[in-house]
């Protein structure tokens, strides 16, 4: 397998930056399929360290340094460039961290902003799938995503795609379901990450933890506007949508159902030992 990586990937990576648009698109499509195959095999098989190392070398040396230019090209190149990033981040935490630490995030969010008018297009489908991969990792660092406007983008995309879903728009089809599910996965990951930080703050006596938790609650508060939309999505025939919506609503209620009490508990030292699952009265937290 290492021989395959050495023989095929470097030439394909070079073709991705060819002056010929058709060659660029073809190269990106083939790279997406090959890298997804290699990384998925590595995820289930042992002894693939050489494949992983050499693949990472191609990514870091031949692709990422120039990748921003592909994302900012005219359509349809960004759709294929994003598809490759989705394949790379599907099974690889190291790649996720590379993207988080690179200059690609601003370009990714710029592409999303420019293509929101066509929320069901391939570019948006791949862009939201990429955000799902980046936020879904256990050790994901969401701060760079927040800095690029993750909450605003997520709110806007879910409002748009959710409205089409509820309207039963037949034109949405599988692409609409894909964008909706990926968006719900991003929302779930963001809320879950926030709940972990808040829970740790409630159990800690460190003032810094409390400030971080309060900051996250404030940053993500616009997402509470999605509550009504999510509730309307519950009575549907799609079990995947129902599962994601249910978990998102549960986390929203935990975090913001009693927003004043939550904020008060975080500021009151006597509330730190409070169990996350409990629902204290105002007097028990020292708030009036």
Domain shared by 222 and 188, yes or no: yes
C-alpha to C-alpha distances, 168 to 48, 62, 231, 233, nearest whole angstrom: 45, 44, 16, 11
Domain shared by 218 and 117, yes or no: yes
In this prediction, residue 198 carries a pLDDT of 92
In this structure, is residue 278 part of a structural domain? Answer: no
pLDDT per residue of the chain (288 residues) written in tens, 0 to 9: 677 678 888 999 999 999 999 999 999 999 999 888 888 765 545 545 667 778 888 888 899 999 999 999 999 999 999 999 999 998 878 888 888 888 899 999 999 999 999 988 999 999 999 999 999 988 889 999 999 999 999 999 999 999 988 887 655 667 678 999 999 999 999 999 999 999 998 888 666 688 899 999 999 999 999 999 999 999 877 899 999 999 999 999 999 985 433 444 444 433 333 333 333 333 333 343
In this structure, is residue 269 part of a structural domain? Answer: yes
> How many distinct structural domains can be found in the chain?
2
In this structure, is residue 283 part of a structural domain? Answer: no
**One-character DSSP codes across 181-225:** HHHHHHHHHHHHHHHHHHHHHHT---HHHHHHHHHHHHHHGGGGG
Domain shared by 97 and 125, yes or no: no
Q: And the tokens for 274?
A: 């409070």
Contacts 24+ apart (CB under 8 A), 90-96: 90/36, 90/39, 90/40, 90/133, 91/36, 91/39, 91/40, 91/42, 91/43, 92/39, 92/52, 93/137, 93/139, 94/52, 94/56, 95/56, 95/59, 96/133, 96/134, 96/137, 96/140
CB-neighbour burial class of residue 284 (10 A; exposed 0-12, middle 13-18, buried 19+): middle
Domain shared by 58 and 156, yes or no: no
Give the whole-angstrom CA distance, residue 264 versus residue 287.
6
Domain shared by 75 and 119, yes or no: no
Domain shared by 191 and 261, yes or no: yes
- End residue of a domain, out of 56, 80, 102: 102
In this prediction, residue 14 carries a pLDDT of 94
Whether the ω angle into residue 76 lies within 30 degrees of 0, i.e. cis, is yes
In this structure, is residue 172 part of a structural domain? Answer: yes
Report the SS3 class of residue 286. coil
In this prediction, residue 49 carries a pLDDT of 64
Q: Which single residue is written with the structure tokens 């730190």? A: 272
Give the range of the structural domain holding residue 77, as residue numbers without chain letter: 1-102
Give the whole-angstrom CA distance, residue 111 versus residue 122.
12
C-alpha to C-alpha distances, 119 to 179, 180, 258, nearest whole angstrom: 8, 10, 33
In this prediction, residue 170 carries a pLDDT of 55
Domain shared by 141 and 267, yes or no: yes
In this prediction, residue 281 carries a pLDDT of 35
Domain shared by 231 and 136, yes or no: yes
Q: And the tokens for 77?
A: 């190149």
In this structure, is residue 286 part of a structural domain? Answer: no
Domain shared by 251 and 112, yes or no: yes
In this prediction, residue 171 carries a pLDDT of 58
- End residue of a domain, out of 52, 81, 102: 102
Domain shared by 146 and 173, yes or no: yes
In this structure, is residue 267 part of a structural domain? Answer: yes
- End residue of a domain, out of 70, 102, 134: 102
Domain shared by 229 and 119, yes or no: yes
In this structure, is residue 163 part of a structural domain? Answer: yes
Residue 158's closest CA among 190, 195, 128, 121? 128
Give the whole-angstrom CA distance, residue 52 versus residue 57.
9
Domain shared by 46 and 77, yes or no: yes
Residue 193's closest CA among 241, 283, 254? 254
In this structure, is residue 165 part of a structural domain? Answer: yes
């Amino acid at each position: 397998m290492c021989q395959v990586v050495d023989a095929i990937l470097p030439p394909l990576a070079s073709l991705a930056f060819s002056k010929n648009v058709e060659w660029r698109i073809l190269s990106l499509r083939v790279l997406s399929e090959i890298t997804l195959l290699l990384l998925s095999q590595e995820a289930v098989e042992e002894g693939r360290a050489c494949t992983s190392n050499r693949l990472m070398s191609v990514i870091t040396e031949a692709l990422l340094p120039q990748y921003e230019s592909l994302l900012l090209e005219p359509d349809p190149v960004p759709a294929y460039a994003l598809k490759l990033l989705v394949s790379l981040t599907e099974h690889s935490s190291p790649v996720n961290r590379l993207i988080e630490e690179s200059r690609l995030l601003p370009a990714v969010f710029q592409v999303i902003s420019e293509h929101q008018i066509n929320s069901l297009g391939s570019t948006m489908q791949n862009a939201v799938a990429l955000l799902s991969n980046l936020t879904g990792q256990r050790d994901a660092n969401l701060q760079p995503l927040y800095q690029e406007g993750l909450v605003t983008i997520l709110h806007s995309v879910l409002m748009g795609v959710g409205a089409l879903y509820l309207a039963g728009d037949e034109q949405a089809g599988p692409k609409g379901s894909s964008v909706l599910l990926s968006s719900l996965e991003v929302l779930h990951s963001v809320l879950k990450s926030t709940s972990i930080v808040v829970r740790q703050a409630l159990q800690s006596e460190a003032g810094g933890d409390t400030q971080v938790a309060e900051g996250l609650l404030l940053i993500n508060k616009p997402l509470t506007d999605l509550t009504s939309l999510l509730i309307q999505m519950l009575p549907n025939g799609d079990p995947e949508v129902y599962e994601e919506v249910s978990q998102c609503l549960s986390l929203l209620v935990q975090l913001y159902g009693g927003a004043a009490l939550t904020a008060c508990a975080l500021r009151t030292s006597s509330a730190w030992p409070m169990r996350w699952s409990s629902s204290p009265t105002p007097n028990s937290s020292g708030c009036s």
